[in-house]
Amino acid sequence: MKREQASDWSLEFEKAIATSGLADDISRCISCGKCTGVCPVAAISPSYNPRQIIREVLLGNYERIVHSEEIWRCFWCANCAATCPSEIKYPLLMLYIRYFSMSPRSM
Ligand code: SF4
Ligand code: SF4
């Protein structure tokens, strides 16, 4: 197994997402889990967890997120955004993370 390196982590990742303004301020996430509770993908695929993905982004776990196949499971139904008490636009966060996964690392 590949050793985790300091460069695998990046707090700049969350800053880039915040600067984009797409998903709104994900630091407002209170980890309530409502997004995961209403997600049809999470219902049939328990390893998919929007609340956990936001946590990982906030922690700066860049490599884990951008190379995860989980980021390709969301199909933008927007149930999560409709129920989020912090008004986080999670589907747009997914869009942005997919963009990062296909772009050369720039931070
Ligand atoms: S519903 Fe919103 S506040 Fe709650 S865990 Fe999901 S993103 Fe965070
Ligand atoms: S938009 Fe994506 S993450 Fe949100 S509820 Fe729908 S499938 Fe799940």
CA atoms of 5 and 61, how far apart (whole Å)? 11
Contacts of 82 (CB under 8 A, 6+ apart): 38
pLDDT at 2: 67
Using CA positions, which residue lies closest to atom 2 of ligand 2? 74
At 37-72, the pLDDT tens digits run 999 999 999 899 999 999 999 999 988 899 999 999
Q: How far is CA 78 from the centre of its chain?
A: 14
CA of 12 to the centre of ligand 2 (A): 25
> 10 to each of 26, 34, 69, 80, 100, how far by Cα in Å?
15, 26, 19, 25, 13
At 15-43, the pLDDT tens digits run 888 888 888 889 999 999 999 999 999 99
Contact between residue 42 and residue 9 where contact means Cβ atoms under 8 Å apart: no
All domains of the chain, ordered by start, with CATH? Answer: 9-102 (1.10.1060.10)
- Is the distance from the beta carbon of residue 85 to the nearest atom of ligand 1 less than 6 Å? yes
pTM of the model: 0.90
pLDDT at 5 over 90: no
